Each structure stands twice: as C-alpha cells, then as structure tokens.
Amino acid sequence: MKSPQLSSLLLASLLLAFSACEKSAENIKNVSETKAVTTAGLVYPLTGTDTSGGILPMRKLPKAIVTKGFYAFPHLKVQLIDTVCKEYLEGTKKVDFVADGTVGHIIGNSDFSIYVDPDFVRAGVRKLSSGPNGWWMHWNYSPYTESEHPDVLFPLNRRYGEKHAQNYISLALDRGVKTFGFEVAPNETGKDIKVLVTYNNFGTYRGQTMFTVEQTISSPSGARLIAVTSAEPFTYVGIELEGHEYPEKGIAIANLRYDEGN
C-alpha cells in the first residue's frame, strides 16, 4: 500500500505534467481561411446557419471554467486540461468505440467500459466516421482537438426511434478514474453554445457532484477538448448542452481518454 506522502507526490507529478498542456494554447498560429469542402448525401447534416460550408479559420477560444462541489468536496484539487498536448496523450488510454453505424449502450472493451444512459437505458450512441456519409463538418485544429476529422459518437434516444437526437449524454465508467477527457461539438452551425459537464463519485446522476466544467463549443471548427485530472476518483460524467430545445439538435463526442491514476 502506498503511503499518503508517496500518493501525494505522484499526484503532484501528474498535475505538473498536465499543466504543460496549458502552454500549448499559447502557441496557436494564425490559419488562413480555407475554401469550404462540398459534400453530398449527408446522413447527419448539421442544422442552423451554414456560415462556411464545412470549415472555418482557426480562432482563439475561451478557457473552460471549473466549479467545485459545494458540500462534500469543497477542497478537492482538480486540474483542467482543455488543449491537447504530449503529456495528456502519453498519460491516458483511448477508449474503443462501437462499430460503424450501430447504436450501442456500451463503449469500450473488457479492459475498460463506459455505460451510456445508466439511469434510464433509453439512449445509445451511434459511431459516425468522418466524411460525407457520417460527421462531415470540420472538427477543429490542434491544440484544441486531437485530430481535425475524427470518428464521433452521436447520442440517440430509442424511445422516439433511432433518429431522435439528444442534447445530453450520461456516461457511467465501470470503475473510478482520476483523469478523463473527451472532445465535443454541437450538431448546429453558426452559434457558440455552452456545454456543462458534471462529475460525481457514483455511477448515476444521483451521486454527489464533485465538480463541474463549463465550456463554449461551436460547429464547424469549434469542437473542444474537455479533460480533467482529479485528486479523488470519479465514476460518472454527464455532458449537457445549455437548454433543452425540442426537437433536440444533438451533440457529438470523440477521442475519449482515461487514466486510473495511483
């Protein structure tokens, strides 16, 4: 069993390594406007005002905001990681996705699994490959995302049929982790939208909130990494767009990563 002093040193080293991620955002270069990519036969066309046809120039985006839990975890140490860097990629493992086109309730494999919508078992996620028959819009540039055209997971509610989108997704991790990250973008163009992420230490939304993260995202070219390292393990992550319009337009998530810590 590790001593409290050793565990503290390991956590401090991990937080120090991930703090280097923050510096990545300071080195963003201007990107000239790129001509829009035309596509046809879209399976999941984005709704809203099409401002670009698929891609926008890079822009500097605001940092995320972390809010601690008010009661049970007032002094919890949380490190926010909202830009991709070498330390983050090397210190985490990527979660496997479901097969192309299928709607699944479990993400991952026998090593690590994530259960979608654990409280009501109504929702699932469909994997969409990048391209004209999947998620066709530009995701974002480095260092805001791991890649510019990733495969994504699109939440769907089976209660209304597989084509009913959701503005939220609940993820129950099969065991506690101390680092968890994902990238997220809205299924709507031409609008900055706030996303709220809730973390707790129980496998459903009924657990106590340890902390929350608020970030601004958009499409196209406005997906964001939201990743955290916590001093205490958490097992539930709830991702929700601000407001619940009907019909819901939906969100997409990509590049899920985790680390159990020490």
pLDDT tens-digit profile of 25-50?
A: 555 443 323 333 333 333 455 666 66
DSSP β-ladder status, 65-68 and 209-217? antiparallel
The string of DSSP codes covering the chain is ---HHHHHHHHHHHHHHHHHHHHHGGGPPP----PPPP--S-SSPPEE--SSSS-------PPPEEEE-SSS-TT--EEEE-S--HHHHHT-EEPPPPPBT-EESEEE-SS-EEEESTTT--EEEEEE-BSTTSB-S----TTTSS-SS--EEEEEEGGG-TT-B-SEEEEEEEEEEEEEEEEEEESEES--EEEEEEEESSSSTTSPEEEEEEEEEBTTTB-EEEEEEEEEEEEEEEEEESS--SS---EEEEEEEEE---
Domain boundaries, the chain: 4-259
Distance between CA atoms of residues 15 and 31, nearest Å? 31
Cα separations (Å) of 179 from 15, 39, 168, 212, 253?
10, 37, 21, 14, 17
Q: Which of 183, 149, 154 is nearest to 166 (CA)?
A: 154
In tens digits, the chain (262 residues) has pLDDT values of 545 554 555 555 555 555 666 655 555 443 323 333 333 333 455 666 665 567 899 988 888 999 987 677 878 999 999 999 999 999 999 998 876 667 788 899 889 999 998 877 778 888 888 887 788 889 999 999 999 999 999 998 866 555 688 889 999 999 999 999 999 999 988 889 999 999 999 888 888 899 999 999 999 999 999 999 999 999 999 999 987 666 788 999 999 999 998 7
In this structure, how many other beta carbons lie within 10 angstroms of the beta carbon of residue 242? 12
pTM across the whole model: 0.84
